[in-house]
């Protein structure tokens, strides 16, 4: 028997985006129903950011143990218990889980229904035995690993981000198809935990990033023993559990014990019955306008399913944009120029705004690019980690883009996220006093590098100083 409900706001999907909308809207007084058909917390908590960063942390500990000698502490061969590392991953998830739990959201006043939702009309969604009519609906159903139709793939056991973190037996040799962020992060974590690793990338590894910055990371990863094969499009897969073979289009053959597929994502739209609600899609996801409204003006789509940048902080940002519009009826448009992202390899890779090549196309001769090499940073020298580069793309004194490759790049980009979000100038960064010796001094030093030619190589400044010095008492 179907129960009927009415609500102000119906949120479909309880991942990074849906939870943020539900929490914000209910605390502002809206009546909110939240549907989750699988696990509260979505991909980020269960199969994405959280487990991947926890496994990277295990790998980093092993790496430190093996590289103490440079610091006067003998190297040891780390004794890795892969299953125990996975226990650590599960424990980290368990620590964060209560924040995303049904109990927490119900205690806030959200009505949570543990069912998948499917549109039955432009304003109604069926979830199990419940039919919900809502004034506004938010689709936040995320994405899933794309599994391409490579001949033979269906005949071998393979891992995705949804199964990797449950694997208890350490892969002897992990083959990773796809050299994007998922592939490279998991390749390094496994290498550091003692597996042999081969990355098979059809184009360029870390190909969305500035090639000069990506190269810094790839060189470091190769030096740890990760085999990274580029222009290696996987074309055929053969074998069985423990002995898998990948053949590329140009005939190269790679053999390993396990296979991880990390070739991108597909939007979770199959169950939604979008046609009945008049919601159009494209290849990457649900079609949305700048205010994140779909082709059904009462329905929004946010996060991964909206087909733009696929990051947890983007889903959270989208939530803020649509709350303004759905709850207060105010105009709200998303910005994309101020969205940073980072890849948590070691060294890390971070980006905000256009890369140097894209900025040159956009701004031509108006663009200044300033660089600062990490080997000038005393703190990183003390830690024997002083390899990296920051590049800032500046137009008329304002940074429009920043690329960072090096230790803590993901932390360093935070300052530039503030600067670009608030359209601050390079002078604001140069005016900051940064504590010595910190890695963060890099940000101030690159701003200094922008001004130093203007100050130190300027004949007018030299003339003014010489003149003033003659007259100063
Ligand atoms: C391995 C990996 C590592 C990552 N690392 C990072 C990182 O370090 N930093 C970062 O910013 N991002 C990272 N990401 C990306 C990040 O996980 C996603 O961008 C983020 O989870 C998207 O949030 P979302 O709300 O759009 O979707 P999700 O978090 O995927 O949530 C969608 C939810 O909707 C539910 N659902 C689907 N269909 C329905 C339906 N019909 N009815 C009801 N419920 C439904 C799903 O079960 C799911 O729980 C990573 C991703 C992966 C795979
Ligand atoms: N640190 C982070 O924030 C983080 C970490 C992991 C994932 N993510 C998110 O998840 C998304 C998906 O990550 P991803 O790494 O799966 O996808 P991706 O699209 O970024 O990279 C996939 C790679 O696979 C390659 N590829 C595709 N088909 C291939 C084939 N047949 N043979 C060989 N290579 C092939 C592509 O050329 C590409 O380089 C990211 O774009 C990002 O938004 C973020």
pLDDT tens-digit profile of 101-117? 999 999 999 999 999 99
Residues 323, 355, single domain; the answer is no
Q: Tell the burial category of 196 from Cβ atoms under 10 Å away from its Cβ (0-12, 13-18, 19+).
A: middle
Residues 370, 249, single domain; the answer is no
What does the pLDDT average to over 377-381? 98
Residues 253, 169, single domain; the answer is yes
Can you tell me the distance from the alpha carbon of 19 to that of 40, in angstroms, rounded to the nearest whole number?
9
Q: Residue 463 has what pLDDT?
A: 87
DSSP characters for 387-444?
Answer: --EEEEEEETTEEEEEEEEETTHHHHHHHHHHHHHTT--HHHHHHPPPPTT-TTHHHH
Does any domain span residue 471? no
**Ligand 2 neighbourhood includes 177 CB (under 6 angstroms):** yes
CA of 209 from ligand 2 middle (Å) equals 12
**Ligand 2 neighbourhood includes 342 CB (under 6 angstroms):** yes
Asked if 91 and 14 touch (Cβ cutoff 8 Å), the reply is no
Does any domain span residue 139? yes
Pocket probe for ligand 2: among 144, 263, 314, 408, the residue whose CB has the most ligand atoms within 8 Å is 263
| Residues in contact with 233: Cβ distance below 8 Å, sequence separation at least 6, in sequence order | 202, 203, 248, 249, 250
- The CATH number for 396's domain is 3.30.390.30
Task: Give the closest ligand to the alpha carbon of residue 339.
Answer: 1
Residues 280, 323, single domain; the answer is yes
Q: Residue 436 has what pLDDT?
A: 98
Asked if 111 and 7 touch (Cβ cutoff 8 Å), the reply is yes
- The CATH number for 255's domain is 3.50.50.60
Give ipTM to 2 decimals: 0.98
Does any domain span residue 66? no
Query: Which structural domain, as residue segments, surrounds residue 280?
Result: 3-40+101-145+266-328
Does any domain span residue 71? no
| Residues in contact with 447: Cβ distance below 8 Å, sequence separation at least 6, in sequence order | 370, 392, 426, 427, 429, 430, 432
Residues 12, 136, single domain; the answer is yes
Ligand-binding site membership of 442 (annotated): no
Residues 352, 213, single domain; the answer is no
| Per-position b or e across 164-191, b if 16+ CB within 10 A of its CB | bbeeeebbebbbbbbbbbbbbbbbbbbb
Does any domain span residue 335? no
> Is a pLDDT exceeding 90 seen at residue 129?
yes
Q: Residue 470 has what pLDDT?
A: 86
Residues 17, 132, single domain; the answer is yes
Does any domain span residue 421? yes
Residues 12, 116, single domain; the answer is yes
Residues 133, 272, single domain; the answer is yes
The number of folded domains in the chain is 3
CA of 13 from ligand 1 middle (Å) equals 9
Q: Tell the burial category of 402 from Cβ atoms under 10 Å away from its Cβ (0-12, 13-18, 19+).
A: buried
Ligand-binding site membership of 18 (annotated): no
Ligand-binding site membership of 423 (annotated): no
Does any domain span residue 351? yes
pLDDT digits (tens, 9 = 90+) for 310-350: 999 999 999 999 999 999 989 999 999 999 999 999 999 99
Residues 32, 112, single domain; the answer is yes
pLDDT digits (tens, 9 = 90+) for 31-67: 999 999 999 999 999 999 999 999 999 999 999 999 9
Query: If pLDDT is split at 50, 70 and 90, which confidence band does 453 have?
Result: confident
Give, using CA atoms, the residue closest to atom 1 of ligand 1. 48
What does the pLDDT average to over 413-425? 98
pLDDT digits (tens, 9 = 90+) for 172-215: 999 999 999 999 999 999 999 999 999 999 999 999 999 999 99
Share above pLDDT 90 across residues of the chain, in percent, rounded to a whole number: 95
pLDDT digits (tens, 9 = 90+) for 133-145: 999 999 999 999 9
CA of 300 from ligand 1 middle (Å) equals 17
Residues 360, 452, single domain; the answer is yes
Residues 276, 136, single domain; the answer is yes
| Single pTM value for the model | 0.97
Does any domain span residue 88? no
């Amino acid at each position: 028997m179907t129960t009927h409900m009415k609500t102000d706001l119906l949120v479909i999907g309880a991942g990074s985006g849906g939870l943020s909308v539900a929490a914000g809207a209910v605390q502002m007084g809206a009546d909110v129903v939240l549907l989750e058909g699988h696990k509260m917390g979505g991909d980020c908590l269960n199969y994405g950011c959280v487990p991947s960063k926890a496994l990277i942390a295990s790998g980093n500990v092993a790496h430190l143990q093996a590289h103490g000698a440079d610091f006067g502490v003998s190297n040891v061969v780390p004794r890795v218990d892969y299953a125990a590392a996975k226990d650590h991953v599960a424990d980290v998830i368990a620590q964060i889980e209560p924040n995303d739990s049904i109990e927490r959201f119900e205690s806030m006043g959200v009505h949570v229904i543990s069912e998948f939702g499917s549109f039955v009309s432009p304003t109604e969604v069926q979830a199990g035995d419940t039919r919900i009519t809502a004034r506004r609906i938010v689709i936040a159903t995320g994405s899933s690993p794309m599994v391409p139709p490579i001949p033979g793939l269906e005949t071998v056991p393979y891992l995705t981000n949804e199964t990797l973190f449950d694997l208890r037996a350490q892969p002897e040799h992990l083959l990773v198809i796809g050299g994007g962020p998922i592939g490279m992060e998991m390749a390094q974590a496994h290498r550091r935990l003692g597996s042999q690793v081969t990355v098979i990338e059809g184009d360029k590894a870390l190909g969305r990033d500035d090639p000069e910055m990506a190269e810094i990371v790839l060189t470091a990863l190769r030096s740890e023993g990760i085999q990274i094969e580029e222009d290696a499009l996987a074309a055929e897969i053969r074998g069985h559990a423990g002995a898998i073979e990948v053949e590329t289009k140009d005939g190269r053959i790679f053999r390993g014990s396990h296979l991880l597929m990390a070739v991108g994502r597909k939007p979770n739209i199959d169950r939604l019955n979008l046609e009945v609600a008049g919601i159009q899609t494209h290849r990457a996801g649900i079609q949305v306008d700048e205010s994140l409204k779909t082709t059904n003006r009462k329905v929004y789509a946010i996060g991964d399913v909206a087909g733009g940048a696929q990051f947890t902080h983007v889903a959270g940002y989208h939530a803020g944009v649509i709350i303004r519009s759905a709850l207060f009826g105010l105009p709200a448009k998303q910005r994309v120029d101020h969205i940073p992202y980072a890849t948590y390899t070691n060294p890390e890779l971070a980006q905000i705004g256009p890369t140097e090549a894209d900025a040159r196309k956009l701004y031509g001769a108006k663009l200044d690019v300033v660089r600062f090499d990490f080997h000038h940073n005393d703190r990183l020298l003390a830690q024997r980690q002083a390899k990296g580069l920051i590049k800032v793309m500046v137009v008329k004194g304002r940074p429009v883009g920043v690329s960072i490759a090096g230790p803590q790049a993901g932390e360093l980009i935070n300052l530039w996220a503030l600067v670009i979000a608030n359209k601050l100038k390079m002078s604001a960064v140069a005016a900051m006093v940064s504590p010595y010796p910190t890695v963060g001094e890099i940000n101030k030093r690159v701003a200094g590098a922008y001004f130093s030619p203007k100050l130190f190589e300027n004949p007018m400044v030299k003339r003014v100083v010489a003149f003033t010095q003659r007259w100063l008492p």
